[in-house]
Structure 1
Amino acid sequence: MKLYFSSRHIPALAQLPLQQRLHKLREASSKLTGPEKMLLNLVKLLVLLPPFVLILRLSDDWTAIIWVALVLLAYPLLLRPLQYGLCEKYISLDRNQ
């Protein structure tokens, strides 16, 4: 599985405009299998859990809010490439049919 940081880098979507790329990605994400959806949800959980733990530490150390912001900024940087990589095979299948 390749990781793509932009939908423009997916070969099957490279020539399409943004709206069509997003539409194809939505269709492909609806075709993900159960284990693939579970993997995405686990990654979401692993990325979103630390900010809540850090928020609990705000009463002890106010600098925890900086770490919360950094972790939340990392959310799309970690999740989008994984989602694009998983969806790419369904976009390719849809294009060949």
Structure 2
Amino acid sequence: MSGYIIYHYNIIDEKRIDQLGPLSLPIVEKYSGKLVVGSGVRVLEGSPYTNMVIYKFKSIESAKVFYESKEAQELSKLRNEITEGIVVFVPEYGAEQ
């Protein structure tokens, strides 16, 4: 079953935000992932984060392997300089965690 990595965040460095997409996508694709949502969001309730990126992976394991990879961890350092927010792992509905 599929696994998802969700980044929900606010941009704190507008000048550098455009660096993340071109650096992220090749790494995601290397681990059999694909971008399924990448957009600003309209918050209806709760969290004030205004942007979201969701990557879908072919399996729960490949999502975890991606996130724990050296490349993704290096990218996390840059992302944390440019954004503030949360990152969550979500298995496909009905999948065991």
Q: Which TM-score applies when normalising by structure 2?
A: 0.28
Bigger strand fraction? 2
Q: Which TM-score applies when normalising by structure 1?
A: 0.28
